[in-house]
Amino acid sequence: MSDPGIRSAVFLDLDSIDRDDLDLSKLNAVVDSWQWHGLVKEGELNEALAGADVVVSNKVILADEHLSRAGDLKLVCFAATGTNNIDLEAAARNHIAVCNVDGYATPSVVQHVFTLLLAITTRFNEYTSAVKQGDWSRSSFFCLLDYPIRELDGKTIGIVGYGHLGRAVAKVAEAFGMNVLLAKRNIEDERPGRVELHDLLPQVDVLSLHCPLTEETRGMIAADELALMKQDAVLINTARGGLVDEYALLDALKAHQIGGAGLDVLEKEPPPPGYPILKADLPNLIITPHTAWASRESRQRLLDEIALNIEAFKAGELRNAV
């Protein structure tokens, strides 16, 4: 089927991607009429969906009650890799196609992984604070050596999740001279070169998470797993906050059970005021606000890929189908 009546589209939460620094021309070229919403609230969602042939959403939740009332809706494009914000069964029941975008943010996420890791291993925050506080100016020597620095060369990184991101992280890690270990997906995973997680943890100096959040992976790094890690090991999580038990991680960091953690994701996003892990004033903990994916280049690739998904659908093909 060619051009299945695609005339109007609505973007439900454009402000979560574009802050007037992106080019929307490819989206405008594939659909005649767009409604651009910074963020549609739940009570406004049914009205926003009315009459739309295509819906683009990043994080707005599309439940059965919304999809069943959107009589013209033919295609939902997620501006993300994950599709946990839509009732897929309801979409299928209402004959609504769903697609996503995969791999668009790989370069951005990879550089963020190593930004967090290097900030921890080079004690970046401590040394920049020391300079601002005048410690260097008061020093008797040409440099400060107050905070021990570690090299990545010769260290071992364990990677959980070996898709686009995991493979790209491994490539950069090897460029730093690191050894790479890959975690098994589960105990039935018999692929060569994979190590069961509990056997991998005591061996690694760095653990980097790149797997999806599922019922199987939720809380996969908790107190028992942290207890298996080296005392100077670093945990990096740029995947999903729910993979890590944040309370167990806080306890481990406070007790110096592991060396540090760099987090770009939390269990609750945005975190409410007084969120425990944000209140912790720990030099071995760095938290960034889910920005690993958010380089301008990655966000532009994301929008351009959505345009290609819509264009393919109009030509009778379902690209990046979920």
Q: What is the set of active-site residues?
A: 240, 269, 290
**What is the three-class DSSP state of 82?**
coil
**What is the three-class DSSP state of 284?**
coil
234, 205 contact by CB (below 8 A): yes
Provide the token pair at 256.
């110096």
Q: Which amino acid is at 119?
A: A
**Spatial separation of the C-alpha atoms in residues 236 and 290, rounded to whole Å:** 13
**What is the three-class DSSP state of 213?**
coil
The enclosing H or E element of 304 equals helix 296-314
Mind giving me the DSSP string for 2-22? ---S--EEEES-GGGT-SS-S
**Spatial separation of the C-alpha atoms in residues 293 and 201, rounded to whole Å:** 26
**Spatial separation of the C-alpha atoms in residues 54 and 316, rounded to whole Å:** 14
Task: Supply φ then ψ for residue 99, to 5 degrees.
Answer: -140, 160
Chain-centroid distance of CA 72 in Å reads 32
Considering only CA atoms, which of 266, 310, 311 is closest in space to residue 289?
A: 266
179-183: strand order across its sheet: 194-195, 179-183, 156-160, 206-209, 234-237, 260-263, 285-287
